[in-house]
Amino acid sequence: MESNGLSGRTALVTGSSRGIGKAAALQLARAGATVLFHGSAPGAKLDAAVAEAGGKALAVTADFCDLQAVEALAQELIGKALVPEILVLNASVQSYTGLGNFDAAEYLRMFNANVESSCILLHLLLPEMRKKQWGRVIFTGSVNGVKPASRLALYGSTKAALMNLARTAALENAPFNITVNTILPGVIETDRNAKALSDPEFAAQLREKIPMHRFGTAEECADLITFLASDRASYITGAEIPVAGGLQL
């Protein structure tokens, strides 16, 4: 993407101190946007990501398991006239919790961070986007939202909920030139997955399940996010696009 493709735009990428979020935030910054990097708390990784972006990048923090903190973040952005035209809802928590080891507290933790936090941000920020008659909302979903995995049953259910939320938001906001789309990453080589993929036998078995027989990269997800944020994707809304090497099939 050309360096000034998003010049003048402000982007908030939640969960952008590492992984897919960081890669997306860096690409959006390179495309010319003012990027708000988000972390659950101040820290070295968040500072390093902002420093790497340079320019007009800023750091914001909020623990997405704390819904009052999420609301406070949105209100802070509104108060400081930093409402993003590009909202990448990437932050999430994940644990290997399924029906066999169901834990109510853990499910609530994941639902709050993965779903309800997004509802709060959309409720407060979409009216501001509508005033500008331009906006891009991009959810980082998961292939687990469309293809069940037993040990990720609870996580997958939160990602399926996000897809339904995204469809509704796309329908309601299309008249305001606001697009809402979801990317569905498969097995991506990030630090979140590093421990699981460090087991050679497990990694080999997982590759065999992927038609392309390889894992994806955060940058491949970021490429799609940056495209969906651009004017080149102005007629795409309500889409759910896998970045999974065919794992969704």
Q: What is the pLDDT of residues 87-143, one digit of tens each?
A: 999 999 999 999 999 999 999 999 999 999 999 999 999 999 999 999 999 999 999
As its CATH architecture, domain 10-243 has 3-Layer(aba) Sandwich (3.40)
Rounded average pLDDT over 174-196: 93
pLDDT higher than 90, residue 246 = yes
- Whether 3 has a pLDDT exceeding 60, the answer reads no
**Torsion over CA: 239, 126, 128, 70 (sign):** negative
Is 90 exceeded by the pLDDT of residue 194? Answer: no
Q: Catalytic: which of 96, 107, 155, 235?
A: 155
Quote the strand ranges of 17-125, DSSP E.
Answer: 34-39, 58-61, 86-89
Cα 148 from chain centre: 20
The domain ranges of the chain are 10-243
Average pLDDT over residues 174-193: 95
Whether 96 is catalytic: no
Write the DSSP string, 119-140. Answer: HHHHHHHHHHHHHHT-EEEEEE
pTM higher than 0.75, yes or no?
yes
Report which residue type is found at 156. Answer: G
- pLDDT given at position 148: 87
| CA nearest to 84, candidates 161, 168, 16, 154 | 16
Token duo for residue 182 = 């979801």
Write down the pLDDT at residue 67.
96
